[in-house]
Amino acid sequence: MTLTTIILIILLGIILLLLEIFVIPGVGITAVIGIALLGIGIYFGYKINSNTGHLIFAGTFLVSVALFTLSLRAKTWDRVSLKSEIEGKVNLVDAEIKAGDKGKTVSRLAPMGKVIINGQFAEAASLGDYINENSEIEVIKVEGNKIFVKNI
């Protein structure tokens, strides 16, 4: 095996490891194949002669350490990380929904389900009893983002 072929095998192994780190999530077949190619390249380097094997091993080790160090730097991950934030909220209870308001169930409350109160869809909970779909309800209390209703 020629020295060029050995270097190409090692470069392919390093490329597969970089793909595993930056593109493909988890530890999978790509990392295993990359490490195997590095090992095969070093093995064939030693098969040529021991000095060539030592040089190939040292070069592979230095390049691997340099790439690992580069991947641990914060700026490297800033380039590939997601920077958007989720600003949505779940089940915001408007000040328009108050105790005593009347509405209708959209789904069965067992004990939670969808209701429509004052023209707004919301998630509500019944206190104890199950309430069937399309039943008239009344708001008992509102605590934070939770609406408690009873069947009329």
Q: Outline where 1-145 has alpha helix (H).
A: 3-22, 29-48, 50-72, 74-80
Q: pLDDT at position 76, please?
A: 65
Q: pLDDT at position 33, please?
A: 93
| Residues pairing with 112 in the sheet | 125
Kindly list the distances between the CA atom of residue 37 and the CA atoms of 13, 101, 148, in Å, as whole numbers in the listed order: 5, 70, 63
> Is residue 60 within 8 Å of residue 45, measured between CB atoms?
no
The one-digit pLDDT tens for each residue of the chain (152 residues) are 788 999 999 999 999 988 887 777 777 899 899 999 999 999 999 998 889 999 999 999 998 888 878 777 767 667 667 778 877 766 566 667 888 999 999 999 988 999 999 888 888 999 878 999 999 999 999 887 889 999 88
Peptide bond just before 25 cis, omega within 30 deg = no
Contacts of 50 by beta carbon, 8 Å cutoff, 6+ apart: none
Task: Give dist(CA 82, CA 80) in Å, integer.
Answer: 7
First to last CA, the chain: 86
The pTM of this model reads 0.50
Token reading at 45: 């380097």
Q: pLDDT at position 98, please?
A: 86
